[in-house]
Amino acid sequence: MSHLSTHILDATAGVPATGVEVVLATIEGAELARGRTDADGRLALGAEVHPQTDYTLTFATGAYFAGRGVETFYPQVTVTFTVGDRPHHHVPLLLSPFAYSTYRGS
């Protein structure tokens, strides 16, 4: 298992958000990994272990909603978080066209 994972749920449709492009980067903006969520809205990114520091995950939410013909207020969502001394970091995203929330998952 990758050291970092995400899961996106489209709260409006009540389904996993599939095919969403996600970019993992350093806080300074250097891209470390990129991928798309699978049929279950999940994606593992990056190295087996990341140094303890701050990172960003940027979710291409505008493209996701445009592909479904849905207007959205957020063309992208960027979550900044700190990797600490844990074996795995999970950053879920609960998404709708006009709101989102995230939390430190397990």
Unique residue bearing structure tokens 């009540």: 14
For 21-65, write each residue's pLDDT tens digit: 999 999 999 999 999 999 999 999 977 767 788 999 999 999 999
- Amino acid 98 reads F
**19 Cβ contact partners less than 8 Å away, ≥ 6 residues apart:** 36, 37, 64, 67
Look over the chain and give the mean of its residue pLDDT values, rounded to a whole number. Answer: 93
For 19-30, write each residue's pLDDT tens digit: 999 999 999 999
Q: For residue 40, what are the domain limits?
A: 4-102
Contact 18, 8 (CB under 8 A): no
- Report the predicted TM-score, pTM, of the whole model to 2 decimal places: 0.93
Task: Please tell me the total count of domains within the chain.
Answer: 1
Give the phi and the psi of residue 31 in degrees, each rounded to 5: -70, 130
49 three-class SS:
coil
Which phi-psi region, left, alpha or beta, contains residue 66 (left: φ > 0; alpha: ψ -120 to 50)? alpha
pLDDT value, residue 88: 85
* CATH number for position 45: 2.60.40.180
Q: Which two tokens stand for residue 79?
A: 């979550």
- Diameter over CA atoms, the chain: 41
